[in-house]
Chain A
Amino acid sequence: MNTTGDFYAVQPKDSPPEMEEIKKLLAANDLELDDQVQMFVVCRRQGRLVACAGLDHYTIKCVAVAEDARGESLSLALGSEVVNLAATRGQFHLFLYSAPHNLPFFRGWGFYPLVEVPERVVLMENSPVAIERYCDSLREQRRPGQKIGGIVLNANPFTLGHRYLVEQAARACHWLHVFVVKEDASLFSYVDRFALVAAGVKNIDNLTLYRGSDYIISRATFPGYFLKDQGIIEHSWAAIDLLLFREYIAPALDITHRYVGTEPFDPVTNNYNAEMKRWLEQAPSAAAPITVIEVPRASTRGTPISASKVRQLLAQRNFSKIQELVPATTLRFLEKQFPALVTTTQ
């Protein structure tokens, strides 16, 4: 007989009564239900819900064990269940957020700390070597020079504003490393965004373009980024993403300066820019500070160019206006992908 209890998976939308039980268990552990969780693993013992762990794509969240069920093997069984659940969903490289004082608990799950916001949160991953292997692959791309720039772009889609930012940074640096956010959570797919960036920066010689990774503005490092269009984010967690950049990515490539466009429209990105100075330049860290350079956004006829503006115009198929905001390569792509609206009459 299994003395631990019965484990099974719960999909939040399928089982409102069980979600109430999960909420209660989380509340008893000072946690809130994260509505991004797609699936919970729960443990029920003699009818009572005693443990839960949530999975949001490849990030484990909302882990709680009832107080009277602690100190036994339950937590390791819970860890095994959620890691195996993730595997059946095709997710093997996992991340986890923990309060710093619970770090030893999750070490037992085979998770290793990446970065910590002191006294607040630790980001962990389920590999002792993955981040180092990633940094090794970056180190092969190192370039000589005293001033090495870094830019992270979502480019949803690539505009003349992005082009201007990259140009300015490339001109100011000996070499420029540009990363394209990998997560497929934007209007345009990663493959398309990457292709448009590649086409748009083609004639800049002192630049390397990178596919993004789970460590740069991903659902794991910066979940809030992908919720911004819905306007429902509470915490941006930008600190975690920025510390990863400062402590791993920048040292691997000798990046000394991070470039970013000023953000007049989008509150999440604007907040991200503000947090950048704090976490890349000012916060205490074992890693050297990285200088943040805010480049004023390029404008057309007094209006700053932004990808969100392009998306708005695209919804109206206003290609004559879009033409003023994007390079020819992006325009051609948009015209092909978004044929003029057809009005049907009955």
Chain B
Amino acid sequence: MKVVKESIAGTLESSDLLVKVAPSNKGTLDIVIKSHVFKQFGKQIRRVVTDTLAQLSVDAGSIVVEDKGALDCVIRARVQAAIMRACGSNELDWQRLS
């Protein structure tokens, strides 16, 4: 999927995360993760984000994650929602979202 516009998904509340997506100027995929628990879980959060993006075939865009201690399933759902919005897509490909 191609990121064509800016989008956000999620909240800043505890156990949630806010995902911000924007098109990339140079066609690169830039992922920035901010989390209070980065030291313990930073690698794991990044893995969930990159896996989710790969599943959706997103290879370009700016992704900023403000994590508030969310579980993996929440991270995946928020990243998916933000990407769907950023791609202007209304059709859900359930196989890719599972």
Q: Which residues of A contact B (CB under 8 A)?
A: 73, 76-77, 79-80, 83-84, 87, 92-93, 108-110, 126-129, 133, 137
Contacts and interface: CB of A to CB of B under 8 A. Distances in A.
B52 interface: no
A129 B12 contact: no
Interface string B25-46: 1000010101000000000000
A241 to B, nearest CB: 24
Interface string B42-63: 0000000000000000000010
A133 B8 CA distance: 19
B36 to A, nearest CB: 9
B14 A76 contact: yes
A129 B64 contact: yes
Contacts of B12: 76-77, 79-80, 83, 108-110
B18 A110 contact: yes
Contact of A92 (B6, B25, B32, B66): B6
A154 B30 CA distance: 33
A158 B22 CA distance: 33
B8 A92 contact: yes
B79 to A, nearest CB: 16
B65 to A, nearest CB: 10
Nearest to B25: A137
B49 to A, nearest CB: 15
A129 B63 CA distance: 10
Contacts of B68: 76
18 contacts: A76-B14, A77-B11, A77-B12, A77-B13, A80-B10, A80-B12, A83-B8, A87-B8, A92-B6, A92-B7, A92-B8, A92-B22, A110-B34, A110-B66, A128-B34, A129-B30, A129-B32, A137-B25
Main secondary structure of the interface of B (DSSP, over half): strand
Contacts of A109: 12
A36 to B, nearest CB: 23
A73 B7 contact: no
A87 B5 CA distance: 12
A127 B64 contact: yes
Contacts of A128: 32, 34, 64
Contacts of B64: 127-129
B78 interface: no
A73 B15 CA distance: 11
Contact of A80 (B7, B11, B22): B11
A295 B20 CA distance: 44
A110 B10 CA distance: 12
Nearest to B6: A92
A77, A79, A80 pick with most chain B CB within 10 angstroms:
A80
A92 B20 contact: yes
B18 A80 contact: yes
B13 A76 contact: yes
Contacts of B34: 110, 128
B20 A127 contact: yes
A187 B53 CA distance: 44
B66 A87 contact: no
Nearest to A4: B13
Contacts of B8: 83-84, 87, 92
Contacts of A133: 25, 62
Contacts of A80: 10-13, 18
A87 B32 contact: no
A75 to B, nearest CB: 9
B72 to A, nearest CB: 20
Contacts of B18: 80, 83, 110
A77 B10 CA distance: 11
A115 to B, nearest CB: 20
A131 to B, nearest CB: 13
